[in-house]
């Protein structure tokens, strides 16, 4: 019953999306003025209905209704509650329903609260949003119905991939999805603005909070995904340049560029066409990522099922939306008026530099990710990994981070490095650069065998960390707007994460050994001892668990428990690494298998300052959150103020009307 209800509600929502699109298009014509009032409520209602459909699917998973095909294939009655819940989106159909849900709910939210945009642009935006959703509704309803029943209920479910049975991963996909799909709002805003030819500061100010919101979720999702890969794969790495990781990185790069160009458009009415273009690109990257992941054309843990029909469907959607948006852009870009001028030394110029470099990295990642597909079409199989991505993206990332130290200090429009004003910039920035140079020199002197990239990373992080606080100089800290704090924290987060990455690749030490209980090994500053190995059991797994005592430079030992888990439903194995975190790094322990001679394979890493990578990621997201709060608070204050003025006027008018 719930399944049928869910499907019916989903169809109704799809019908409302059609209505939203048609009424939106009609309302933009002079003769269709009357139905303009229809668009907003329809968008809100569509969001409510899809949310209900998604709630229905969650209910089916929580009650483990095995007569539903999707539940039978991806869940199991004995699974812990949290993984029953996560099972809802841990499969192709459910994750597409989640996609549509977020898209429609975001659209409804825009319809409900967005008051700054001219009504026409907003209607065009909502019509655009409906147009994009429709493709995904069609995909969901025609080729991947999540509510499909089985002719006979299954006796028991097939379970969830053991790799995915992890609490961190339960909330990783929804976080990323909010980010991916949140960018659809930027896409629709861009289309709306192109349709009404209304690209200006008001448009940028209206779009900015949505981009910021999506960007925060993307940042958190990528950070969490990286940590998940780090501790569940047991390989000790935190980023593998896997197609799926790239699929999440590409929208982030585009959204980061968009965020910065938005602030130019909002403050200075420049970079108009550019910002619109980035709005289109950002969501296009989300869709490309989804296509790569969902079609199964690239190998990945995340490719749920390889189904050529689905792949071609998403490819068709991709062609329609990206092609359509680019065509619209080509037709309308010339009618978007010229932006305001700025000089080579100005904040705009620094932000243009940032944008170009981010787009360069985006291009590098995109080409590297698609290259194996390209060569395979010609019959050659290749894979592209860190030896390509690391140095080539650094070519763009390093200049960008250097400019990042100066850019926020520059004035809008025109600035100078000369004279008294210039001294206020060049002096502190020069000190930071000096610090960078000293660190680079020190690293090369003390540890000449460190590669060039990690050494440069350490040096830039050392200079960028203090430089990111320079915008606060000469400001009253209590009166500094939240958005400035957000920028400072975000840039500082980049420096922190960069430090973690560089330190990890420069100073990690690894120890691989076959050990008997009682054996002692040295790894970095740690002395590790294998105390023993024994069996343990969890709700749906059994495991062999090693007890390892690890003593940091002779201090009282800490106990670690790395496991090799065996899952029953579905059958599978997973290593569960054990971590010991200190302020200056992490000890990472993995248990392997037992050899014929009774020795156990153990692998240890000492990774100095590696947690900084994820602390940095969290700081970046926190910076985004502060900026978002600052923007939203300012908007609310403005709304309240205009409300008060209107009220006073009406009072005055009423008083004046009295004789």
Partner 1 sequence: MSAIKAKHQRLVLLVIALVALVGAGLLAAWALRNQAAYFYVPSDLVARPPEPGRAVRLGGMVEKGSIRRAADGVTIDFVVGDGKARVPVRFTGITPDLFVEGSGVVAEGRMEGPTFVADNLLAKHDEKYVPREMKDMTASQAKQVVAETK
> Minimum CB separation from partner 1 for residue 414, in Å?
6
Contact status: 414 vs partner 1 (CB under 8 A):
yes
Q: Where does this chain touch partner 1 (CB under 8 A) — which range of 61-69, 109-117, 314-322, 350-358?
A: 350-358
Q: How far is the CB of 572 from partner 1 (least distance, A)?
A: 5
Identify the CA nearest to 524 among candidates 580, 442, 564.
Answer: 580
Q: Which whole-number Å values give the CA distances from 163 to 71, 167, 168, 230, in the listed order?
A: 18, 11, 11, 13
Closest CA to 59 of 38, 79, 32, 87: 87
The closest alpha carbon to 72, from 58, 82, 61, belongs to: 61
176: helix, strand or coil:
helix
Contact mark string toward partner 1, 521..560, x via CB under 8 A = ----------------------------------------
SS3 84: helix
- Separation of alpha carbons 76 and 66, rounded Å: 9
Least distance in angstroms from the C-beta of 422 to partner 1: 13
Q: Does 418 bind partner 1 (CB under 8 A)?
A: no
Q: How far is the CB of 280 from partner 1 (least distance, A)?
A: 14
Number of other CB atoms surrounding residue 308 within 10 Å: 10
> How far apart are the two ends of the chain, measured CA to CA in Å?
67
Show the tokens assigned to 255: 């959204």
269 binds partner 1 (CB under 8 A): no
Identify the residue among 83, 231, 252, 304 touching partner 1 (CB under 8 A). Answer: 304
Q: Is residue 147 within 8 Å of residue 4, measured between CB atoms?
A: yes
Rg of the chain's alpha carbons, rounded to an integer?
Answer: 27
Q: What is the DSSP string of 280-295?
A: HHHHHHHHHHHHHHHT
Task: Tell me whether residue 35 or residue 514 sits nearer to partner 1 (CB atom).
Answer: 514
Asked if 343 is part of the footprint of partner 1 (rule: CB under 8 A), the reply reads yes
Q: How far is the CB of 381 from partner 1 (least distance, A)?
A: 4
Ranges within 562-621 binding partner 1 (CB under 8 A): 564, 570, 572-575, 590, 592-593, 595-597, 599, 601, 603
Helix (H), strand (E) at residue 646: helix 612-657
With contacts defined by CB under 8 A, name the span among 511-519, 532-540, 544-552, 648-656 that binds partner 1: 511-519
Nearer to partner 1, 212 or 359 (CB): 359
Residue 556's φ and ψ, nearest 5 degrees, are: -55, 135
Q: Which is nearer to partner 1, 149 or 599 (CB)?
A: 599
Closer Cβ to partner 1, 210 or 274, answer by number: 274
- Rule CB under 8 A: say whether 382 interacts with partner 1: yes
Residue closer to partner 1, measured from CB, 425 or 439 = 425
Stretch that binds partner 1, among 38-46, 271-279, 484-492, 496-504 (CB under 8 A): 271-279
Tell me the C-alpha distance between 256 and 431, whole Å. 28
> Does the protein bind partner 1 through residue 225 (CB under 8 A)?
no
266: phi then psi, degrees, rounded to nearest 5:
-70, -40
Check residue 75 for interaction with partner 1 (CB under 8 A): no
Helix (H, G, I), strand (E, B) or coil at 416: coil
Question: Helices (DSSP H) in 478-591: which residue ranges?
Answer: 482-507
Per rule CB under 8 A, is residue 367 in the interface with partner 1? Answer: yes
Under rule CB under 8 A, residue 626 binds partner 1: no
Instruction: State the number of binding residues for partner 1 (CB under 8 A).
Output: 67
With vertex at residue 125, the alpha carbon angle to CA 124 and CA 130, rounded to the nearest 5 degrees, is 95
Residues 6+ apart with CB under 8 A from 243: 292, 293, 298, 299, 300, 369
Residues 104-143, one symbol each (x = binds partner 1 by CB under 8 A, - = not), give ----------------------------------------
| By CB under 8 A, residue 394 contacts partner 1 | no
Q: Which residues bind partner 1 (CB under 8 A)?
A: 161-163, 234-235, 271, 273-274, 298-301, 303-306, 338-339, 341-345, 352, 356-357, 359-360, 363-364, 367-368, 371-372, 375, 380-385, 387-388, 391-392, 395-396, 413-414, 512-514, 564, 570, 572-575, 590, 592-593, 595-597, 599, 601, 603
């Amino acid at each position: 019953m719930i399944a049928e209800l869910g499907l019916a509600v989903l169809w109704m929502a799809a019908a409302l999306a059609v209505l939203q699109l048609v009424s939106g298009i009609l309302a933009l014509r002079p003769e269709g003025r009357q139905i303009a009032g229809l668009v907003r409520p329809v968008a809100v209602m569509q969001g409510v209905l899809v949310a209900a459909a998604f709630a229905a699917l969650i209910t089916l998973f929580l009650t483990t209704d095995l007569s539903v095909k999707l539940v039978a294939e991806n869940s199991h009655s004995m699974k812990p509650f949290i993984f029953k819940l996560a099972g809802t989106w841990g499969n192709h159909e459910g994750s597409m329903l989640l996609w549509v849900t977020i898209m429609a709910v975001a659209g409804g939210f825009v319809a409900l609260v967005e008051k700054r945009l001219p009504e026409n642009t907003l209607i065009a935006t909502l019509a655009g949003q409906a147009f994009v959703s429709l493709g995904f509704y069609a995909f969901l309803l025609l080729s991947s119905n999540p509510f499909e029943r089985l002719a006979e209920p299954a006796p028991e479910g097939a379970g969830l991939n053991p790799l995915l049975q992890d609490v961190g991963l339960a909330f990783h996909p929804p976080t990323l999805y909010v980010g991916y799909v949140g960018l659809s709002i930027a896409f629709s805003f861009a289309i709306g603005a192109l349709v009404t030819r209304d690209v200006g500061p008001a448009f940028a100010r209206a779009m900015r909070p949505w981009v910021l919101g999506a960007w925060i979720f993307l940042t958190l999702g990528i950070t969490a995904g990286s940590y998940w890969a780090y501790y569940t794969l047991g390989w000790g790495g935190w980023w593998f340049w896997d197609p799926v990781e790239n699929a999440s990185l590409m929208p982030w790069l585009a959204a980061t560029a968009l965020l910065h160009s938005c602030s130019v458009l909002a403050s200075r009415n420049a970079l108009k066409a550019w910002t619109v273009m980035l709005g289109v690109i950002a969501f296009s990257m989300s869709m490309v990522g989804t296509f790569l992941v969902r079609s199964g054309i690239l190998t990945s843990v995340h490719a749920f099922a390889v189904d050529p029909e689905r792949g071609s469907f998403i490819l068709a959607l991709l062609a329609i939306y990206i092609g359509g948006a680019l065509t619209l852009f080509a037709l309308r870009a010339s009618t978007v008026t010229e932006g305001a001028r700025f000089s080579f030394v100005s904040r705009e110029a620094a932000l243009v530099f940032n944008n170009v470099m981010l787009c360069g990295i985006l291009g590098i990642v995109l080409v590297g990710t698609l290259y194996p597909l390209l060569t395979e079409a010609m019959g050659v199989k290749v894979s592209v990994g860190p030896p390509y991505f690391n140095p080539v993206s650094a070519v763009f990332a390093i200049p960008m981070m250097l400019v990042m130290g100066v850019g926020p200090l520059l004035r809008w429009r025109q600035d100078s490095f000369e004279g008294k004003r210039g001294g206020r910039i060049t002096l502190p920035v020069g000190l930071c650069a000096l610090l960078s140079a000293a660190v680079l020199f020190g690293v090369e002197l003390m540890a000449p065998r460190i590669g060039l990239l990690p050494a440069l990373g350490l040096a830039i992080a050392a200079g960028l960390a203090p430089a990111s606080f320079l915008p606060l100089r000469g400001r009253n800290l209590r009166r500094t707007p939240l958005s400035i704090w957000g920028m400072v924290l975000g840039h500082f987060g980049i420096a922190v994460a960069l430090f973690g990455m560089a330190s990890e690749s420069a100073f990690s030490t690894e120890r691989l050994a076959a050990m008997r209980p009682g054996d002692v090994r040295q790894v970095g500053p740690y002395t590790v001892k294998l105390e023993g190995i024994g069996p343990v059991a969890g709700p749906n797994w059994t495991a062999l668990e090693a007890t390892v005592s690890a003593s940091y430079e002779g201090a009282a030992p800490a106990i670690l428990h790395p496991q090799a888990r065996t899952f029953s439903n579905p059958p599978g194995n997973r290593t569960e690494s054990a971590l010991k975190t200190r302020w200056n790094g992490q000890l990472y322990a993995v248990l392997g298998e037992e050899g014929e001679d009774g020795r156990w394979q153990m692998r240890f890493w000492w990774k100095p300052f590696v947690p900084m990578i994820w602390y940095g990621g969290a700081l970046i997201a926190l910076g985004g959150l502060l900026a978002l709060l600052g923007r939203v608070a300012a908007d609310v204050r403005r709304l309240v103020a205009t409300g008060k003025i209107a009220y006073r006027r009406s009072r005055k008018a009423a008083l004046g009307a009295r004789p």
